[in-house]
Amino acid sequence: MANVVVVGAQWGDEGKGKIVDWLSERAEVVVRFQGGHNAGHTLVIDGVTYKCSALPSGIVRKGKLSVIGNGVVLDPWALLAEMDKLAELGVEISPDRLQIAENTVLILPVHQNLDLAREKALGSAKIGTTGRGIGPAYEDKVGRRAIRAGDLAEIDVLPERVEKLLLHHNALLRGFGMPELDRDEVVAEIAAVAPKILPYVGAVWRTLDGVRKSGKRILYEGAQGMLLDIDHGTYPFVTSSNTVAGQAAVGSGQGPGAIDYVLGIAKAYTTRVGSGPFPTELFDDVGRGLGERGREFGTVTGRPRRCGWFDAVLTRQSAKVNGLNGVALTKLDVLDGVKELKVCVGYRIDGETIDYFPASSTKQAKVEPIYETMEGWTESTFGARSWAELPATAVKYVRRIEELIEAPVALLSTSPERMDTILVHDPFAD
């Protein structure tokens, strides 16, 4: 049976939560393989809205195993708070339904302190981080001084490990003119939360290996989007992890053969949160209209998203880097009533035409979009569940996007509701 990876094909916020939830009906296990709790997924099920940040979206479905892989950085306190909120909505979470990789790096309060201090020091040149400590936690991971989930079972050696961690953090805090942190206080915070997290901690790689051997389907869920990838995104305005499909194997302790199908999620237009280049951004009434109709506010931060036309150049690049087998196109209904649509089909830099987004931040700032204009539609596509319910011009728009990004549309989403989805090709069928 096919195992499917779901990744964002733009700058995140593409609607991965709904698609993952829709696909999780066909899978037994849902895995988060990278990122932190700065990436929120909103699910609307039978009129009830669920918001997941640290937890995999599959947690809202009964009988499914949700896994937090080693590629994630995890804030234990944020996780527990999220679990409590979902419990109020009737979602039961137990060690039988949730497993955390023992080699998952923990986000501690020290990481949040450093995150906020840096952004404040950068001023107008800030990256646009959410201040949740994700970046500093990944730094400690590669710096080999991080505290990991499995370490919570070894409280007796925790003081020594925290001492090494603070040797780095306190030096930085001194440089920012901030008070240093006390080792014993940090250890006490970690020790207090340990008993609540440890029941969920285990050898995830072993669990997933057993799941694969038994022939069960696995759904790998990414956070953010390809354009925020630390290597392939609009650096330095990116997140601190690899968000591309290849990370699904690395971030869950599986080999590349574990991946059978890669599904990229893309909006029928483009949005971005925070700082950084955005070639097709709109500053007029059309852009504001997209934001209002699409309710473009961050699930976690509440920050308004920047809106613009669909960028086929960036999405095609994402398709190539991720190795997309298909695309789930979301929020087509937001374009209802827009008389004239534009799609970016190329870029111009200093008079030269190119068909890709350059890695140089200097060149990125100079990019001018080349547009192709298409006819819009006045009819409603909201809630459509078949091609026959779509206006001919909407179908034409979707088909043109397929041609431009060189990847087929496998799913088409027409509202936040789970069932308002047009299935063209089932990723699990491969």
Per-residue confidence band for 301, with pLDDT thresholds at 50, 70 and 90: low
Average pLDDT over residues 312-325: 97
Residue type, 65: L
**pLDDT tens sequence across 52-99:** 888 998 898 888 999 999 999 999 999 999 999 999 999 999 999 999
Instruction: Based on the residue annotation, tell me whether 13 is a catalytic residue of this protein.
Output: yes
**145's tokens:** 């001084």
The Cα 306–Cα 290 span in angstroms is 9
Range 394-402 average pLDDT = 97
- Provide the 10 A C-beta neighbour count for residue 261: 21
Selected catalytic residue, list 37, 41, 111, 232: 41
Which residue in 13, 75, 115, 151 is the catalytic one? 13
Across 223-376, the runs of DSSP E, i.e. the strands, are 261-267, 270-272, 306-308, 310-311, 326-330, 340-349, 352-354, 368-375
How far apart are the C-alpha atoms of 116 and 118, rounded to whole Å?
A: 5
Return the exposure string of 303-342: e unless at least 16 CB atoms fall within 10 Å of the residue's CB, then b: eebbbbbbbbbbbbbbbebbbbbbbbbbbbbbbbebeebb
Average pLDDT of span 186-194:
96
Residue with tokens 């990723």: 427
Position 318 confidence tier, pLDDT thresholds 50, 70, 90? very high
Task: Please choose, from the candidates 33, 228, 7, the residue with its C-alpha nearest in 3D space to the C-alpha of residue 127.
Answer: 228
Model confidence over 327-360: pLDDT tens digits?
999 999 999 999 999 999 999 999 999 999 999 9
Surface-to-core class of residue 413, CB atoms within 10 Å of its CB (0-12 exposed, 13-18 middle, 19+ buried): buried
Torsion 316-300-230-75 (CA) sign:
negative
